[in-house]
Amino acid sequence: MIVMTPGASADEIGAVRTRLEKTGVHVVVMPGELTTAIGAIGDPQGVAELGLEGLPGVDRVVPISRPYKLASSELSHHEPSSFDVAGRRVGGGETFCLIAGPCTVESSEQTLGVAEAVKAAGASMLRGGAFKPRTSPFAFKGLGVDALKILAEAREATGLPVVTELLDSQHADAIHEHADVIQIGARNMQNYALLEVAGKLGMPVLLKRGLSSSLDELLMAADYILKEGTEAVILCERGIRTFETATRFTLDLGAIPWLKLHTHLPVVVDPSHAAGDRRLVEPMSRAAAAVGADGIIVEVHEDPEAALCDGPQALYASQFADYARDVGAHASLLGKRLA
């Protein structure tokens, strides 16, 4: 939509119209009481490239179409998309996936212990960090490729597909070899080169919302992955920065129904990093299930006090079965069963 200034002359309006028509868009001139608006229906990119803002008589150009394309629910005619990860359905409105495990792989015993516990309680996937994005460069950064091997062992033992973070494109092949779902961490949501690398691997990608990213930005980041040909992208709301510091981040629950309206992609919630405190994790998980999330990704440890990373927010493995039952009950209110 091109909005003309109040004083725009008929010649100026005509000049804009001619320019638009040359790009092949359909033009509708709408004279108003004070200003004239000109609607351009067609390729928004072609119109943007005309640089109409600089023409005499033009006040502003207002894009009406959405900035994200492949992630948009318009693309799927408002049908939710779904796909399988090692036989577990993600998205589609009938299943709820529980992705659980430690923040970080610390040892084979620790990872296998948690994996068995969450599997027995009904988790559908195992999470665990091998390469950790730490705020301080002096904090524990994960066991790297050794951790990937431990995760693969845990998958072998439990049958649970593995979700782990791709932090750097140089680890892409190793992750492709050992994992089932690539996680893109919040701090890398706008690392566009990394998003393209992840999209090229042909594996499902779990894309976390950036700490200070809008939902439009999240969906445009998803477009970077989708344009490489991967159809399996899972969005993750994990809390955003606000003025509130009582919780580690602020879980944006409104994001879930908003995303359900605007994208066909499945949406999961990470209550652990949003809360920073295990006592809040269960109520926030119930809320996430109740507002329509397709799943949860949650941190669990057998001995959180001894965890090398994010212990205070980790659920006790011994309490995970109760947790899974409660969250599953809330998901079933919306007609979803645990995947």
Q: Residue 238 binds what, of Mn ion, ligand PEP, none (CB under 5 to 8 Å, by partner type)? A: ligand PEP
With binding defined as CB under 6 A, does residue 311 bind ligand PEP?
no
Q: Computed from CA positions of residues 94, 76, 214, 37, in that sequence, does the dihedral angle turn out positive or negative?
A: negative
Cβ neighbours around 299 below 10 Å, total:
29
DSSP reduced 3-state for 33: coil
Question: How far apart are alpha carbons 293 and 206 in whole angstroms?
Answer: 14
Per-residue contact track with ligand PEP, 89 to 128, x per CB under 6 A?
A: --------------x-------------------------
Chain contacts with Mn ion (rule: CB under 5 A): 103, 310
Task: Determine contact, residues 122/104, Cβ cutoff 8 Å.
Answer: no
N-to-C CA span, the chain: 45
**Which of residues 91, 101, 102, 129 is near ligand PEP by CB under 6 A?**
129
DSSP 250: B
Per-residue contact track with ligand PEP, 168 to 207, x per CB under 6 A?
A: -----------------xxx--------------------
For 300, the token pair is 């669990």
Question: How far apart are alpha carbons 242 and 28 in whole angstroms?
Answer: 42
| Smallest separation (angstroms) from ligand PEP to the CB of 211 | 8
Question: How far apart are alpha carbons 244 and 241 in whole angstroms?
Answer: 8
Residues 237-276 interacting with ligand PEP (rule: CB under 6 A): 238, 270, 273
Cα 157–chain centre separation: 29
103 or 235: CB nearest ligand PEP? 103
The conformational region for residue 259 under phi > 0 = left, psi -120 to 50 = alpha, else beta, is alpha
187 or 200: CB nearest Mn ion? 187
Q: Residue 219 binds what, of ligand PEP, Mn ion, none (CB under 5 to 8 Å, by partner type)? A: none
Q: Residue 186 binds what, of ligand PEP, Mn ion, none (CB under 5 to 8 Å, by partner type)? A: ligand PEP
237 or 282: CB nearest ligand PEP? 237
Residues that bind ligand PEP (CB under 6 A): 103, 129, 133, 185-187, 208, 238, 270, 273
